[in-house]
Amino acid sequence: MTTGVTSHQKGSTHGLRLHRIVVFNAERRKANNKQTGRESPHLETIREAWRKNLEVPFYGITHDGKRKEGLYQLRDEGAPTKMMVEAARSVLKSLSPSEKTDTVHDLDSETWRRWSNPEFVLHKCGVRLEDLEEPKTEAIISLLKQSLSPGGFAKVRGAMKVNKFLGEICGKEVILNEHSYSFTLFGVPSETEPWGYMLFGHHLCLNVFIARRQMVIGPVFIGAEPNTIDEGPDKGLTLCANEGQLGRQLMQSLPPKLQQAAQIYPQMKDPAMQEGRWNRADQRHMTGAFQDNCVIPYEGVVVTDMPEEQQILIMAIVHEFLALWPSEPLRHRLKQILKHLTETHFCWIGGFGPDDPFYYRIQSPVALFEFDHHSGVFLTNEEPAKYHIHTIQRLPNGNDYGRQLRELLRPR
């Protein structure tokens, strides 16, 4: 399985160096804030919308507003629970009493839903890695390593390193660095009782739930701006390129009629879009932070209407998104997704030429994956560019954060 972190390829930074030369958008935002004397009104509006979404009890993402029950079952899926429990206990052992108080929350705490991906801290949750001594940070990193596949761990560490690189090229190392992430632990690490943890910060949000030898990884947000490190000790590290390459390959190879049906909008910010279909916080993404209950109608093409070659490409994309999952849980997750392939839809926004930015979504009753090229936040591209990428994965119909499994575990 590919890891989502690839070596530098000639030409992979096409257009990036030009944007590295000019002043980054952060300075423009800073100047605008000085003129107004306060935060952007757009940011205030976004925060208020997020706050209201959090006030609504968790229901889960659906395609029609009605949650489909019975999709998720308890079973032994070979999760590396023992190693994860040992690593989590090492984290707790390393923390001071006050740090432990900040870190540990009740399993059913709504803190699960307070993750976000901007560079600023919207909600104080748990402890910040950058505020901890190195042994404590390394203990948390070790928990990640024991939870994920080798390739998935490399991808998560790659996101952290790309964030550090962005901070260096922008001179914003205080808020953009390898450890600018919050860590929270839910419940008590156990091989027999449910527990979990959350790590989130700029361009990286990871929610992991454990129930005996079963695990759920989601919601997951992984992004990068830029998505390639082109200098320094990590030169050549590239993030989220495979998801983009496979998506374009799929779209380009579809028969013309299916291409037309899959492409729901030809432009990234299309005049035909209904109000709210593009937004300042997530652009084309629909399942970002604080969108736990959104209703997303199926769009585009049913996967089983595609030729076999393109169905194989769909599963290759799914495999890439699920790179974080350890081998045995991954096998069960893929089996679950394949079971619902006749209900799986693929849609596309934007062009699909070699230089076109684009968005795509794969959506079924049990899985939702989004890929989007974004305009610049810290770099200066005002239009979406291939070197600013956001990816999200969700478990529709109520199993984000392992919520459906948690309900099954409750005494009847």
The DSSP secondary-structure symbol of 343 reads G
Q: How long, in residues, is the chain? A: 412
What is the C-alpha separation between 364 and 342, in angstroms, rounded? 9
pLDDT score recorded for residue 176 = 85
Please check the confidence at residue 166 and state whether its pLDDT lies above 80: yes
Please check the confidence at residue 160 and state whether its pLDDT lies above 80: yes
With bands split at pLDDT 50, 70 and 90, how would you rate the model's confidence at 6? very low
Please check the confidence at residue 23 and state whether its pLDDT lies above 60: no
Please check the confidence at residue 123 and state whether its pLDDT lies above 70: yes
pLDDT tens profile 246-283: 999 999 999 999 999 999 999 988 899 888 777 877 77
pLDDT score recorded for residue 34 = 37
pLDDT tens profile 28-37: 444 333 333 3
Q: What is the sign of the dihedral through the CA atoms of 216, 6, 135 and 206?
A: negative
* Cβ contact 197:85 at 8 Å: no
φ/ψ of residue 20, rounded to 5: -75, -25
Please check the confidence at residue 22 and state whether its pLDDT lies above 80: no
Q: What percent of the chain has pLDDT over 90?
A: 68
What is the C-alpha separation between 167 and 177, in angstroms, rounded? 6
Mean pLDDT of the chain: 88
With bands split at pLDDT 50, 70 and 90, how would you rate the model's confidence at 380? low
Mean pLDDT throughout 280-294? 86
pLDDT score recorded for residue 17 = 46
- Neighbouring CB atoms inside 10 A of 18's CB total 12
Residue with tokens 């527990």: 195
| Among the ranges given (228-242, 296-310, 311-325), the one the predictor scored with the smallest mean pLDDT | 228-242
Beta strands in 20-132 (DSSP E): 104-105, 127-128
With bands split at pLDDT 50, 70 and 90, how would you rate the model's confidence at 198? very high
pLDDT score recorded for residue 26 = 44
Please check the confidence at residue 346 and state whether its pLDDT lies above 50: yes
CB within 8 Å of 21: residues ≥ 6 apart: none
Nearest to 393 by CA among 249, 248, 176, 243: 243
Please check the confidence at residue 228 and state whether its pLDDT lies above 90: no
Please check the confidence at residue 172 and state whether its pLDDT lies above 80: yes
pLDDT score recorded for residue 19 = 45
φ/ψ of residue 362, rounded to 5: -115, 125
Write the CA distances from 25 to 170, 177, 399, integer angstroms.
Answer: 9, 18, 37
Please check the confidence at residue 403 and state whether its pLDDT lies above 90: yes
- pTM of whole model > 0.85? yes
pLDDT tens profile 51-95: 898 899 999 999 999 999 999 999 999 999 999 999 999 999 999
Write the CA distances from 379 to 15, 27, 175, 278, 398, integer angstroms.
Answer: 11, 10, 16, 20, 36
What is the C-alpha separation between 361 and 298, in angstroms, rounded? 10
